Structure 1
Amino acid sequence: MLQFKTELNLPDVGLTGFETPLAEEECAVQETLHRFAKEVLRPLGTALDKMTAEQVVAQGSPFYSVFAEFAKLGVDPALFASLPPETGLRMESMIAEELGWGDSGLALSLGIASFPMQVALAAGKQELVDLCAGRIGCWIGTQPDRGSDFQVFDMERDWPQGAPGNQGSLWAKVGVDEIVINGQSSAWVSNGPVAQVAIAYMGADYGDGRLDKNGRPHGVAVIIPLDLPGVSRGKPLEKIGLRALPQGEIYFDNVRVPKRFAVALKDEYYGSFASVWSHAGAHTSPIFTGLARAAFEMALQYCHERKQGGRLLIDHQLTRYRLGDMLRRVELTRATARRSLAFARLSKRCHPYVTAANKVTVTEEAMKVVHEAFQLFGGVGTTREYPIEKLFRDARPSLIGDGESYTVIMRLGLLCQQLYAEGWSNP
């Protein structure tokens, strides 16, 4: 219903833009996370960014302090489940955004660290929950010769006819009581160099070969303690951005895991994998919304300090247009991220092509915001004196990680084809 005002005033605005009114509990959580992001994540991320990859993961590195500091906040997934769905989703999104505002690399590391635990909880296996408790986790999916190919679900439409599927270079032999794992992950395993436990999705042989009748690889999802015999690591990657997020390959040489550590066997594998990837994409989006917001705020402040043409930058019409366009895009990323999170959490038939495509929208728009902020800083933005150059470097890998943009959107087009065949948008 239309509401009349008796006077002209500025709009309600908060940390996360033009929000509808927040509950007292939401405000308290948001303020706590913002303080943590400002006082812990941002300075720590800045320090780690200047270190080598091996220094970041070395014993005694300040990197490890982030997990203990974050644990003190008491952010528990059970909290979201106890709230009304809309409130829980908004709070979860706001928390991830604040973490991304502080440092996107550390935000990703914190989120991925709990991934095996979340999978164990979803599978309802208390033994695995206990195994993951208090440990840094990682998610193993891609392999050196099986990057985007792990996204292939529909062999008929998405793979050369008659050709066998890509089995990958990491696979498992599934026996009666144990699973034997050989091969290696890709170098892009987030938290790979520091993780103590992994949730791994890989090809599998159940005794009848590694491919089904359509040529699609069989698979298994299993939680793996990374202190088992036969597990080793590669060197952590040196990257242009997200340097506070350790990434590197993990090798497996006849690693034996009890079969009861599996969370998805043969017939459940692809459904489980789709659920996990949907969850990952939905959680990534608000983190990079936070990064975009950080870039906008830095540019807004700088435009109130820097003079050109005899006046502050903010007093030029073109500057106002550019800032307005940046804020518009931040609002777009936030709206998309929340819708994606709601779809992943509430839909009974979520799908990773949807949440991954939403991640593309968020990261592409975030990159535009960071680029424009970088331009407003001018030459000084290219120096380490101003943090905008770090945000620029941190934003760029987001267009590739968790699904390279072009490949994901191509598969969204494939999903259009699949849904149309089932009667969607077909009058």
Structure 2
Amino acid sequence: MDFQPTEEQRAFREAARDFAANEMAPHAAAWDEGKIFPEDTLRQAAALGFAGIYVRDDVGGAGLSRLDAAIIFEELAAGCTSTAAYISIHNMASWMIDRFGTDAQRRQFLPSLTSMAHFASYCLTEPGAGSDAAALKTRAVRDGDDYVLNGTKAFISGGGRSDIYVVMCRTGEDGPKGISTLVVPRDTPGLSFGKQEKKLGWNSQPTAMVIFENARVPIANRLGAEGDGFKIAMMGLDGGRLNIAACSIGGARACLEAAREHLLTRRQFGRRLADFQALQFKLADMATELEAARLMVHRAADALDRGDPQATMYCAMAKRFATDAGFRVCNEALQLHGGYGYIREYPIERFLRDVRVHQILEGTNEIMRVIIARRLLKD
């Protein structure tokens, strides 16, 4: 067991850190305030290999591991958590095509996704199927060489802007075994979008309903066999949960660093805040929680890379722990800043707003507990 990064990991960690510091952090507040989707910056990230981190290199991916991705997303999220989280979702959707697509599908869709000439969205959640994802109602009915797709997806990151939608839909019986996965291009007739959602955070990425009304999708756009869709979606989420956990760590780390600087410079009662033991203990607990969260994420990523049969449980554990810890650290950092933490001139409140949703998406943290408990109690 080696806790030291390899030379290659050090190199792309530094590349991600420099990119986040120079190309993301200086603009993050403006993106948040103006609800700007920073397409040019995203394509710059893609040029560094960050749009297809664990997509194979024959279609433009970086061919890296899930552990490598966790390292990268922590760094990107320290610059702009919202934008890093969209890159995570794009990676998840692209990996699903890479892992389950035919060679023809991979070559059709992935070169434009790994360059971010096209953007991708993951479409599972529906207005009536959130945590109970296997109850989804969006249905695809065969008609000749096509499926006719009807239904609505909710809270879709990239909705209305993405070029490619990886859609879980019902092609058979009720329950998980009746779900399939289709790749739906944006220009598909019958595909439309709801209004842009007004959100607490994640304002640098669009979020909208995705609506299918007799949308014709070629059968050739199905990933895997009919009935494989729920398995494909859940395997995508294993990695997505790790990425979002890493994004929580990155955002919280930025808040911890800001809080440390504030304690060292702010003076009250004739002393630096850093000289008050109560505040020292608070900072120590924040750093300890982040270190524990990072270790859990890296351990789960290693399990996923190795194909460990318990990888899904470890991913759920890491996601639950890291996203809860990340929000707590951001909240404590805001408290340590006092009133300054609450105003938008300082970045703490933006990180707080952005990481809060990580406890909800990619499976709520309550669902993470369900996954863990089922594995622990399985005969």
Q: TM-score, normalised by structure 1?
A: 0.80
Mapping of residues 156-175 of structure 1, within 5 Å? 166=135, 168-175=136-143
Closer, same or farther: CA 218–38 of 1 in aligned 2, 3 Å? same
Q: What RMSD in Å do the two structures reach over aligned CA positions?
A: 2.4
Cα distance, 1:405–1:176 mapped onto 2, change above 3 Å:
same
Instruction: Flag the 1:78–1:324 CA change in 2: closer, same or farther, 3 A.
Output: closer
C-alpha distance in structure 2 between counterparts of 1:142 and 1:352, whole Å: 20
Cα distance, 1:345 vs structure 2:
2.5
Instruction: For residues 182-226 of structure 1, give each alpha carbon's deviation from its aligned partner in whole angstroms, at most 9, with x where no partner exists.
Output: 01101x111112110011112223xxxx33xxx656111111111
Query: What is the distance in 1 between the residues matched to 2:29 and 2:334?
Result: 17
Q: Secondary structure at the match of 1:250?
A: strand
Q: Which residue in the other structure is 1:235 paired with? A: 195
Matching residue of 2:33: 50
Instruction: Name 1:11's counterpart in structure 2.
Output: none
How far the C-alpha of 1:245 sits from its partner, in A, is 2.4
CA contact (8 A) 1:138 1:195 kept: yes
Q: In the alignment, does 2:71 pair up with 1:94?
A: yes
Contact 2:67-2:301 at 8 Å conserved across structures:
no
Q: In structure 2, do the counterparts of structure 1 residues 224 and 391 end up closer, same or farther at CA, with 3 Å as the change threshold?
A: same
Matched, 1:390 2:350: yes
Give deviations 1:89-116, integer Å, cap 9, x for gaps. Answer: 5433211110111111101111222333
Amino acid at match of 2:288: R
Q: Give the equivalent residue in structure 1 for 2:111.
A: 133
Unaligned runs of 5+ in 1: 1-18, 58-62, 153-165, 422-427
Partner of 2:80: 103
Question: Relative to total residues, which structure has the larger helix share, 1 or 2?
Answer: 2
Q: How does 1:164-203 map to 2 (within 5 A)?
A: 166=135, 168-175=136-143, 177-186=145-154, 188-203=155-170
Matches of 1:280 and 1:93, distance apart in 2: 10
Kindly report which structure 2 residues correspond to 1:259-338, keeping only aligned pairs within 5 A, or say none.
259-338=219-298
- 1:33 matches 2:16: yes
Q: 1:65 is matched with which residue? A: 40
Q: Displacement, 1:21?
A: 4.3
Q: In 1, are the aligned partners of 2:56 and 2:98 still within 8 Å (CA)?
A: no
* One-letter amino acid of the counterpart of residue 12, structure 2: V
Contact 2:317 2:372 in 1 (8 A): yes
Kept in 2, the 8 Å contact 1:230–1:254? The answer is yes
The answer to which of 277-286 and 359-368 deviates more is 277-286
Change (3 A) 1:88 1:266: closer
Report how many aligned residue pairs link the two structures.
366
Which residue of structure 2 aligns with residue 143 of structure 1? 126
What per-residue deviation string (whole Å, max 9, x for no partner) do you get for residues 131-184 of structure 1?
Answer: 24321000000100111111x5xxxxxxxxxxxxx3x34111135632111011
CA–CA distance in structure 2, aligned partners of residues 218 and 204 of structure 1: 6
Task: Output the amino acid matched with 2:71.
Answer: M
Residue 233 of structure 1 and its aligned partner are, at CA, apart by: 0.9
Residue 160 (structure 1) aligns with: none
Distance in 1 between residues matched to 2:165 and 2:216, nearest whole Å: 14
Q: Indicate the residue corresponding to 1:249 in structure 2.
A: 209
How does 1:407-426 map onto structure 2 within 5 Å? 407-417=367-377, 419=378, 421=379
Alpha-carbon deviation of 1:290? 0.6
Shift in Å at residue 382 of structure 1? 0.8
Give me the whole-angstrom Cα distance separating, in 1, the residues matched to 2:55 and 2:131.
34
Supply the distance in 2 between the matched residues of 1:312 and 1:331 (Cα, whole angstroms): 26
Alpha carbons of structure 1 residues 73 and 269: separation in structure 2 relative to 1, 3 Å = closer
Question: Greater Rg, structure 1 or structure 2?
Answer: 1
TM-score (ref. length: structure 2): 0.89
- Seen in structure 2, the aligned counterparts of structure 1 residues 132 and 230 have a Cα distance that, compared at 3 Å, is farther
Quote how far apart the aligned CAs of 1:304 are.
Answer: 0.9
Tell me the equivalent position of 2:7: 24
State the 1:352 CA deviation: 4.3
| Identity within the alignment, % | 24
CA distance in 1 between partners of 2:325 and 2:78 (Å): 15
Residue 120 (structure 1) aligned with residue 120 (structure 2): no
What SS is found at the alignment partner of 1:180?
A: strand
Q: Distance in 2 between matches of 1:277 and 1:117?
A: 12
Single out whichever of 96-105 and 119-128 deviates more from structure 2.
119-128
Distance 1:235 1:317 in 2: 49
Shift of 1:283: 1.9
Given the alignment of the two structures, is residue 345 of structure 1 paired with residue 345 of structure 2, yes or no? no
